[in-house]
Amino acid sequence: MNDTVTRLAATQAAIARAARDFERRPADVTLIAVSKTMPEEAILPALEAGQRVFGENYVQEAKAKWPGLRERFPDVELHMIGPLQSNKARDAVALFDAIHTLDRESLAKELAREIARAGRAPKLFVQVNTGEEPQKGGISPSEADAFIALCRTHHGLVIEGLMCIPPAEEPPSPHFALLAKMASRNGLRGLSMGMSADYEAAIQLGATHVRVGSAIFGARA
């Protein structure tokens, strides 16, 4: 538990240092502590140390562990950062404060329906598959502009920003630069990019949200 708190503090300090190095305000970079697969007792030290923004990959897992934690820490902000099935849109809208993986029209349609029904609107990020990897979710870069426009005009969705996960075997910075250019072109402020191994490069290129798991919680089982 002390290790988690130590690693969290080191990550927060590194993010602040990187932001200052690249002439950005540390407050403009949000740390999402990726708590997927972590049990409640592993997350508690981070909560007690003041971390309030967390990322989960699976709706069912988040539904099982976060309601109880939120009773104790009601100011928690929960982000969906894993692939989202359209039939889980209702649960996702009810549970999450942000969804980073909007990547197809069927999901846009369901999210719009559930937002209207629930009167609750999570912040939405369009996931872009910058490496065009067939095994990964995300809209292709060539289709992203049209998809963003479709989400806005046809489905009435407010898009907060863009998200990407660069290919593991490639330098991440060109992918981050591509995403930043795409966001600027579409008038989007949010850039969800950068993970434990590359968040400093992401901050250099404008990341507003970095998703850090193993650097805080340690290696996953």
Nearest-CA neighbor of 114 among 101, 128, 127, 95? 95
Q: How many angstroms separate the CA atoms of 122 and 80, rounded?
A: 10
Residues 146, 152: Cα–Cα separation, whole Å: 10
pLDDT at 40: 95
Cβ neighbours around 198 below 10 Å, total: 18
Pairing of strands 190-192, 53-56: unpaired
At residue 220, the pLDDT reads 74
C-alpha to C-alpha distance for 71 and 176, rounded to whole angstroms: 36
From first to last of its 221 residues, the chain has per-residue pLDDT tens of: 589 999 999 999 999 999 999 999 999 999 999 999 999 999 999 999 999 999 999 999 999 999 999 999 999 999 999 999 999 999 999 999 999 999 999 999 999 999 999 999 999 999 999 999 999 999 999 999 999 999 999 999 999 999 999 999 999 999 999 999 999 999 999 999 999 999 999 999 999 999 999 999 998 76
Q: Do 206 and 177 touch, CB atoms closer than 8 A?
A: no
pLDDT at position 1 is 53
Q: Does pTM top 0.85 for this prediction? A: yes
pLDDT at 205 (0 to 100): 98
Place of tokens 């579409």: 186
- Rg of the chain on CA atoms, in Å: 17
| CA–CA distance, 126 with 103 (Å, rounded to integer) | 6
Answer yes or no: are the C-beta atoms of 161 and 189 closer than 8 Å. Answer: yes
